[in-house]
Amino acid sequence: MSPLPQLSGRQIGRALERLGYQLDRQKGSHMIYRQAAPPHRRLVVPDHRTVAPGTLRAILRQAGLSLERFLELQ
Protein backbone atom coordinates (compact mmCIF):
# COMPACT_ATOMS: atom_id res chain seq x y z
CA MET A 1 0.00 0.00 0.00
CA SER A 2 1.28 3.43 -0.84
CA PRO A 3 1.74 6.01 1.91
CA LEU A 4 -1.19 8.28 2.61
CA PRO A 5 -0.86 11.85 1.35
CA GLN A 6 -1.17 14.80 3.70
CA LEU A 7 -4.42 16.49 2.78
CA SER A 8 -6.57 19.18 4.31
CA GLY A 9 -10.18 18.59 5.25
CA ARG A 10 -11.30 20.84 2.39
CA GLN A 11 -9.32 18.78 -0.14
CA ILE A 12 -10.94 15.60 1.15
CA GLY A 13 -14.34 17.28 0.94
CA ARG A 14 -13.80 18.26 -2.70
CA ALA A 15 -12.90 14.67 -3.57
CA LEU A 16 -16.03 13.43 -1.79
CA GLU A 17 -18.13 15.93 -3.74
CA ARG A 18 -16.82 14.38 -6.97
CA LEU A 19 -18.24 11.08 -5.70
CA GLY A 20 -21.71 12.51 -5.15
CA TYR A 21 -21.47 13.64 -1.53
CA GLN A 22 -22.83 17.05 -0.59
CA LEU A 23 -21.91 19.25 2.34
CA ASP A 24 -24.92 18.81 4.60
CA ARG A 25 -23.85 21.07 7.44
CA GLN A 26 -20.89 22.19 9.49
CA LYS A 27 -20.61 22.60 13.22
CA GLY A 28 -17.31 24.00 14.42
CA SER A 29 -14.51 22.13 12.73
CA HIS A 30 -16.67 19.15 11.69
CA MET A 31 -18.00 19.11 8.13
CA ILE A 32 -20.79 16.57 7.63
CA TYR A 33 -21.10 15.27 4.08
CA ARG A 34 -24.19 13.37 2.98
CA GLN A 35 -24.46 11.03 0.01
CA ALA A 36 -27.14 12.30 -2.39
CA ALA A 37 -28.18 8.84 -3.62
CA PRO A 38 -29.18 5.88 -1.44
CA PRO A 39 -27.88 4.59 0.97
CA HIS A 40 -27.42 8.27 2.06
CA ARG A 41 -24.21 7.70 4.01
CA ARG A 42 -22.94 10.48 6.23
CA LEU A 43 -19.26 11.19 6.66
CA VAL A 44 -17.67 13.53 9.16
CA VAL A 45 -14.57 15.29 7.87
CA PRO A 46 -12.49 17.52 10.17
CA ASP A 47 -11.87 20.99 8.79
CA HIS A 48 -8.16 20.98 9.61
CA ARG A 49 -5.10 22.04 7.65
CA THR A 50 -3.82 18.46 7.67
CA VAL A 51 -5.92 15.43 8.50
CA ALA A 52 -4.23 12.66 10.45
CA PRO A 53 -3.46 9.51 8.43
CA GLY A 54 -5.66 7.32 10.63
CA THR A 55 -8.57 9.72 10.23
CA LEU A 56 -8.15 9.76 6.46
CA ARG A 57 -8.01 5.96 6.42
CA ALA A 58 -11.25 5.82 8.48
CA ILE A 59 -13.01 8.25 6.12
CA LEU A 60 -12.00 6.14 3.12
CA ARG A 61 -13.21 2.97 4.83
CA GLN A 62 -16.58 4.53 5.70
CA ALA A 63 -16.99 5.80 2.13
CA GLY A 64 -16.13 2.38 0.75
CA LEU A 65 -13.16 3.71 -1.24
CA SER A 66 -9.74 2.31 -1.89
CA LEU A 67 -6.75 4.60 -1.59
CA GLU A 68 -6.04 4.26 -5.31
CA ARG A 69 -9.58 5.32 -6.27
CA PHE A 70 -9.43 8.23 -3.84
CA LEU A 71 -6.12 9.44 -5.30
CA GLU A 72 -7.66 9.40 -8.79
CA LEU A 73 -10.24 11.92 -7.57
CA GLN A 74 -7.56 14.41 -6.45
The tens digit of pLDDT for each residue in 12-37 reads 999 999 999 999 999 999 999 999 88
Query: What confidence score (pLDDT) does residue 74 get?
Result: 80
Nearest to 59 by CA among 70, 45, 47, 48: 45
**Residue 1 confidence (pLDDT) above 70:** no
Q: Is residue 40 left, alpha or beta, with left meaning phi > 0 and alpha meaning psi from -120 to 50?
A: left
**Residue 7 confidence (pLDDT) above 60:** yes
The confidence band for 2, taking pLDDT boundaries of 50, 70 and 90, is low
Per-chain mean pLDDT for the chain: 92
Beta-sheet pairing, 30-35 with 21-27: antiparallel
